[in-house]
Chain A
Amino acid sequence: MNAPSKIPASSKLIAGATGDWEIVIGLEIHAQVTSEAKLFSGSSTGFGASPNSHVSLVDAAMPGMLPVLNHECVRQAIRTGLGVKAQINLTSTFDRKNYFYPDLPQGYQISQYKSPIVGEGVVIVDMGEGEQISVGIERIHLEQDAGKSIHDQDPRLSFVDLNRSGVALMEIVSKPDMRSSDEAKAYVTKLRTILRYIGSCDGDMDKGNLRADVNVSVRKPGAPFGTRCEIKNVNSIRFIGQAIETEARRQIEILEDGGAIDQETRLFDPVKGETRAMRSKEEAHDYRYFPDPDLLPLVVEQSEVDELAAGLPELPDDKKARFIRDYGVTPYDAMVLTLERESADFFEQVAKRGDPKTAANWVINELFGRLNKDGTPITESPVSAAQLGGLVKLVADGTISGKIAKDLFEILWTEGGDPRELVESRGLKQVTDTGAIEKVVDEVIAANPDKVEQAKAKPTLAGWFVGQVMKASGGKANPQAVNDILKRKLGI
Chain B
Amino acid sequence: MTELCDLTFAEARKALAAKEFSAVELNKAYLEAMEAARGLNAYVLETPEIALERAAESDARIARGEAGALEGLPLGVKDLYCTEGVRTTACSKILGDFTPPYESHVTSLMRSAGAVMLGKLNNDEFAMGSSNETSAFGTPVNPWRRKGSDAKLVAGGSSGGSSAAVAARICLGATATDTGGSIRQPAAFTGTVGVKPTYGRCSRWGIVAFASSLDQAGPIARDVRDAAILMGSMAGYDKRDSTSVDTPVPDYEAAVGRSVKGLRIGVPKEYRVDGMPAEIEKLWSQGAEQLKAAGAEIVEVSLPHTKYALPAYYIVAPAEASSNLARYDGVRYGARVAGRDITEMYENTRAAGFGSEVRRRIMIGAYVLSAGYYDAYYVRAQKVRTLIKQDFETVFAAGVDAILTPATPSAAFGVGEMANASPVEMYLNDVFTVTVNMAGLPGVSVPAGLSAEGLPLALQLIGRPFDEETLFATAAVIEDANGRFTADRWW
A interface with B by C-beta (< 8 Å): 57, 60-69, 96, 98, 100, 102, 105-108, 158, 160, 286, 288-290, 293-296
Contacts and interface: CB of A to CB of B under 8 A. Distances in A.
Contacts of B374: 288-290
Contact of B326 (A108, A290, A295): A108
Top 10 nearest A-B pairs by Cβ distance? A107-B326, A288-B369, A293-B212, A293-B213, A64-B206, A61-B327, A63-B208, A64-B207, A286-B371, A107-B327
Given A63-B209, A64-B82, A286-B371, A105 B327 contact: yes
Interface centre among B98, B104, B327 (most CB of A within 10 A): B327
Chain B interface extent, by class: 35 or more
Contact of A57 (B102, B204, B325): B102
B255 interface: no
A286 B370 contact: yes
Contacts of B240: 66, 68
Nearest to A55: B332
B396 interface: no
Interface string B310-347: 00000000011011011101011100000000110010
Contacts of B205: 64-66
B282 interface: no
B313 to A, nearest CB: 14
A88 B209 CA distance: 33
A62 B205 CA distance: 11
Interface in B235-264: 239-243
B332 A64 contact: no
B326 A100 contact: yes
A186 B266 CA distance: 68
Interface string B329-368: 1011100000000110010000000000000000000100
A455 B423 CA distance: 112
A63 B331 contact: no
B82 A60 contact: no
A65 B100 CA distance: 11
Contacts of B333: 62-63
Interface of B: 82, 88, 90, 95, 98, 100-102, 104, 204-209, 211-213, 239-243, 319-320, 322-323, 325-327, 329, 331-333, 342-343, 346, 366, 369-371, 374, 378
Chain A CB count within 10 A is highest, among B88, B101, B243, B331, for B331
Q: Which of B101, B319, B326, B346 has the most CB of A within 10 A?
A: B326
A62 B332 CA distance: 8
A98 B327 CA distance: 11
Nearest to B204: A66
Nearest to B379: A290
B101 to A, nearest CB: 8
B208 A64 contact: yes
Given A100-B346, A160-B331, A288-B370, A63 B100 contact: yes
Given A65-B205, A66-B240, A288-B370, 4 more contacts: A107-B325, A290-B320, A293-B213, A296-B243
Contacts of B212: 293-294
B370 A105 contact: no
13 contacts: A62-B102, A64-B205, A68-B239, A98-B323, A100-B326, A106-B327, A107-B323, A288-B374, A290-B320, A290-B323, A290-B369, A294-B242, A296-B242
A62 B242 contact: no
A313 B205 CA distance: 40
